[in-house]
Amino acid sequence: MSATPIGIYVHIPFCHRKCGYCDFNTYAMAGAIVDAYLSALHLEIERADCEGDPVVSVFFGGGTPTFLSGEQLADLLRHLRQRFHILPDAEITSEANPGSLTLDQLQRMREAGFNRFSLGVQSFDPDELRRMERIHSPDDVIAGVQMARRAGFTNLNLDLIFALPNQTLERWESNLRRAIALQPEHLSLYALMLEPNTRFYHLYQKGQLSLPDEEVQVEMYRLAQSLTRQAGYEQYEISNFAQAGFRCRHNLLYWHNEPYLGFGAGAVSYYRGIRWTNIKHPREYVRRLREGESVVLESERLMAWASVAETLMVRLRLTDGVDLQELDARFGLPVCEGFLPLFLRLQERGWVQVERTHIRPTNEGLLWHSELSLKILELSERCPLPAL
């Protein structure tokens, strides 16, 4: 039996309506499909081929997990506990939409063992929220935070987005200050990404969406870094800021490229060197499970060099960077030797700092992480390490 710590992700693909910028695997559906989906999800959990690995984190994401009742969420968690070895101190998170919460629901979740709560705030500005087609108001956020605290949640994350259409630096500062004033233990602050197949993308293509230019976006990011630092948060990842002891354990699994199992429509798993993705549409997911078919849409065994490159890319999202000895030991390969010339070039550009034991991204490296990742990928594809 392996003792590798793993995470579990559960996807709830329902939302009250689709937001204009969202390209997640989520649908404005309700009614019978929700019950059918839950039955299918329980079936997938029941059929999981699990081998007793200790589970250090469980994350309910979406979509909108709190589209479900407290009891439905508690049932799913109970079932996971029956099937997996969830450690007593595991981090158990649910994402939530501030527009669809009740105290009763949160209390039920807390009793069931949820101990971290992540609220999709995005903005405190009513115009920005309207333009994003969010269903909640700024008051809903405040009520949501108060309810979560009353229900006993002591580990709270707020998600915010910057570089929104027509957003000024001042407006972003106001959003940030309002978020910090609510004293969450964790903040996730993302720049808006224009994804194809979203309403925002099509509006932008037609010239009907005005976004802050790149210099302003960089200023917004820098402002987020300085205001959070002043308020006592530590930046530990490109977009993530935590009070001491409150880094997100689940996301750290992804950033360390460690194993996790995903359940639900479109969920991704990475386990024993294989990555697989479930079928995306909830109706097809339900049909396949009902008929005893596999829900796996695609699966690949990662080549060693691809795994190394991915590990380097995700690790360099973290301010802690890459521990070189640990990396060589994990892969049993001379990774450091193979990548050192590239890291030295990236150091000349000012994107990383090469130390005796670690490679760490600089502040510029965090900002240009996508470009930095491309360089790692190019090198690993062009000349994989000799032993790989």
**Whose Cβ is closer to ligand SF4: residue 190's or residue 331's?**
190
> Which helix (H) or strand (E) is 312 found in, with range?
helix 304-315
Find the shortest distance in angstroms from Cβ 230 to ligand SF4. Answer: 29
Find the shortest distance in angstroms from Cβ 106 to ligand SF4. Answer: 17
Find the shortest distance in angstroms from Cβ 67 to ligand SF4. Answer: 9
Which residue shows structure tokens 């997640």?
A: 24
Find the shortest distance in angstroms from Cβ 62 to ligand SF4. Answer: 5
Cβ neighbourhood burial of 143 (10 Å; 0-12, 13-18, 19+): middle
Residue 181 near residue 145, CB atoms below 8 Å: no
**Whose Cβ is closer to ligand SF4: residue 24's or residue 331's?**
24
**Whose Cβ is closer to ligand SF4: residue 19's or residue 92's?**
19
Find the shortest distance in angstroms from Cβ 198 to ligand SF4. Answer: 9
Whole-number Å distance between alpha carbons of 70 and 80? 15
Residue 374 near residue 313, CB atoms below 8 Å: no
Note the helical H segments in 69-185: 70-83, 103-112, 126-131, 138-151, 169-181
**Whose Cβ is closer to ligand SF4: residue 236's or residue 263's?**
263
Q: What strands lie across the sheet with 296-301, from one edge to the other?
A: 234-237, 240-242, 186-191, 156-162, 116-122, 85-96, 54-62, 6-12, 260-263, 268-271, 274-278, 296-301
- Three-state SS for 14-82 is ECCCCCCCCCCCCECCCCHHHHHHHHHHHHHHHHCCCCCCEEEEEEEEECCHHHCCHHHHHHHHHHHHH
**Whose Cβ is closer to ligand SF4: residue 21's or residue 114's?**
21
Find the shortest distance in angstroms from Cβ 154 to ligand SF4. Answer: 24
**Whose Cβ is closer to ligand SF4: residue 63's or residue 321's?**
63
Find the shortest distance in angstroms from Cβ 23 to ligand SF4. Answer: 8
Contact set with ligand SF4 (CB under 6 A): 15, 18-19, 22, 24, 26, 62-64, 97, 120
Residue 245, φ and ψ in degrees, nearest 5: 85, 5
Find the shortest distance in angstroms from Cβ 21 to ligand SF4. Answer: 7
Whole-number Å distance between alpha carbons of 374 and 383? 14
Cβ neighbourhood burial of 80 (10 Å; 0-12, 13-18, 19+): buried
**Whose Cβ is closer to ligand SF4: residue 164's or residue 327's?**
164
Residue 121 near residue 141, CB atoms below 8 Å: yes
How many CB atoms within 10 Å of residue 55? 23
**Whose Cβ is closer to ligand SF4: residue 19's or residue 148's?**
19
Find the shortest distance in angstroms from Cβ 247 to ligand SF4. Answer: 23
Closest CA to 184 of 120, 249, 253, 100: 120
**Whose Cβ is closer to ligand SF4: residue 18's or residue 360's?**
18
